[in-house]
Every structure is written in C-alpha cells, then in structure tokens.
Amino acid sequence: MSEKKLNYEYCDKLVRDFEEVVKQPIVSKSSVYYTGVDLGTACVVLAVLDENYKPVAGAYRYADVVRDGMVVDYIGAIKIVRELKQELEEKLGAELIYGAAAIPPGTDALDSGAVKNVVQAAGFELTNLLDEPTAANKALKIQNGAVVDIGGGTTGISILKNGKVVYIADEPTGGTHFSLVVSGAYRMSFQEAEIYKRDSKNHKELLPVLKPVIEKIASIINQHIKDHDVDEISLVGGTCCLTGIEEIIEKKTGIFTHKPKNPMFVTPLGIALSC
C-alpha cells in the first residue's frame, strides 16, 4: 500500500456515531431533523441527523424493491420507507419531516420520479434529490480523485476535481453478482450466499473466489478513469465492506485505493447531509 493517506476522519466519525445511534437513538431537543433515504438494490437505509448535522437515529432493512438502481416494487418501497420512518419517529418522539434521496448516476431521466414519489408517499417533504456519488462525497469530503460506490446492483464511479464532480458513470454490477458467484461456488441458495458473504469471518476465504469479479469491476473502473488524471480511489458502498477488496482494485488499476472504516453507510449519511 502506498504511504499516501487520505483523511477519512470526518467520515469515519460520522459513520461510527451512526452505527451507535442505529443501536440506540439519541433523543434530543433538536428543532429540526434531516433524514437521508437511500433506496438501494439490496438495502433501504434511513439516516437521521439533528439540527447540527449529527447522527441521532438510523435504521435499515434488506429488501428487494430496487434492481440495478431502478425502483421495481413501488408499493413495497413506500411501505418500507414509511415503516422505517414511523419506527424512528416513535424512538425519537418527533416527526421526521424533511427527507433527501439519491439516485445512481444516469438513471435520473428514467427513475428520479419514482424515487421522489416513494420518498414523498412515505410522508417526507423532499428537500433534495442528488446522485449517489455526489452524496457520498458530502461525507467523504474528497477534493481530487475517484469515488467508486459498489452497492448491491450497481457501481457508481465519479471523478472529482477541486471538490467538484467532473465525470460520473454507473455500471450494472455489484454485490449481487458477488453473491451469485458465492452461490455457485458453494452450492448455496442466493440468500444463504448473501449472508455467508456479509460475515467478515468468511472474507479471507472468499477473497480468492471473488477475485475475478473484483478484477472485472477494477477493469470497468479503469475504462472510466483512463482519460482523467486520477491518483486516488475511494471505495464506498456495502460491497466494499469485503476485507481486502481495496488491495485487488489497487493492484489492477495501479492507483492508490482505500476506503473509510465502514463504507456501507457513507452514501446514506451523505444524503442526510444534503437534506
């Protein structure tokens, strides 16, 4: 690994605080709450911040309401967001009014309406709808380099110059494909493979099995960044929880690659920060 060190201090603290409030919400006297709604292929996450943009509550649920970044079960998505919202409101003893959401880059023409309607139908006043990598960077605070968000169904790639997104792309591959590989290799059902894959105790054993699919993602990253001057890649998204994924991507791209401590909650928190 290169000696270069990007400062994830702010992001790591934000995520650490969020993990705590998911377990135990902080009942505060905040005058306003900001909720980030991340409607993912694998997971729906709600992240709630107080008036000082500090995490106070959060909840998530694995669900199958979005595929490859597109809402496929509209009613199911509304139901989950509404239930998670109510659950958090009861815990906080406050109404969650303002919500922001994000969509994978490039799906705005097709799907931004659906995401917007889901968030509004669940009872939020939508204050912002932005693309996922831009949202992630609200938490990461990267000035220059690439942010690669490997979620369940999609991989979003964004390139930043002086803190601004100058290039954005989305590819239909992600953790779902990892689970399919595990399912095939271990003769497990997809569900069993998902659970097996998420357990960090199995990561060392799984890394060689998943190496070809990680290298495929790395070659996709290469295609997108080849015309840009990128000397640093930041990984976010649940799939990047896989221990050692950054080393394989770094080797294949030849670019310093690293990730915050828990890449899974970076985008939902970034969405909440954009609320």
For residue 260, state whether it binds ligand ATP (rule: CB under 6 A).
Answer: no
Q: Residue 257 forms beta bridges with which residues?
A: 233
* Residue ranges in 67-86 that form contacts with ligand ATP under rule CB under 6 A: 69
Contacting ligand ATP (CB under 6 A), which of 198, 224, 252, 259?
Answer: 198
Nearest CB to ligand ATP, comparing residues 78 and 94: 78
Phi and psi for 90 in degrees, rounded to 5? -65, -45
Residue 187 structure tokens: 């003769």
Q: Which stretch binds ligand ATP (CB under 6 A): 20-28, 76-84, 195-203, 251-259?
A: 195-203
- Which amino acid makes up residue 199? D
Contacting ligand ATP (CB under 6 A), which of 107, 137, 154, 234?
Answer: 154
Nearest CB to ligand ATP, comparing residues 50 and 131: 131
Angle at 275 (CA atoms; ends 15, 246), nearest 5 degrees: 35
Tally of CB atoms within 10 A around 76? 16
Cα separation values, 208 from 83, 199, 203, 248, Å: 39, 16, 9, 10
Contacting ligand ATP (CB under 6 A), which of 130, 139, 148, 241?
Answer: 241
Q: Which stretch binds ligand ATP (CB under 6 A): 73-81, 90-98, 194-202, 246-254?
A: 194-202
Q: Would you tell me the crossing angle of helices 203-225 and 175-186 to the nearest 10 degrees? A: 140
To the nearest whole angstrom, how small is the minimum distance from the Cβ of residue 251 to ligand ATP? 19
Angle at 175 (CA atoms; ends 169, 181), nearest 5 degrees: 125
Give CA 85 to chain center in angstroms. 19
What is d(CA 35, CA 87) in angstroms, rounded to the nearest whole number?
A: 13
The site string for ligand ATP over 15-54 (x = CB under 6 A, - otherwise) reads -----------------------x-xxxx-----------
For residue 119, state whether it binds ligand ATP (rule: CB under 6 A).
Answer: no
To the nearest whole angstrom, how small is the minimum distance from the Cβ of residue 111 to ligand ATP? 11
Residues that bind ligand ATP (CB under 6 A): 38, 40-43, 66, 69, 151-154, 174-176, 194, 197-198, 200, 237-239, 241-242, 264
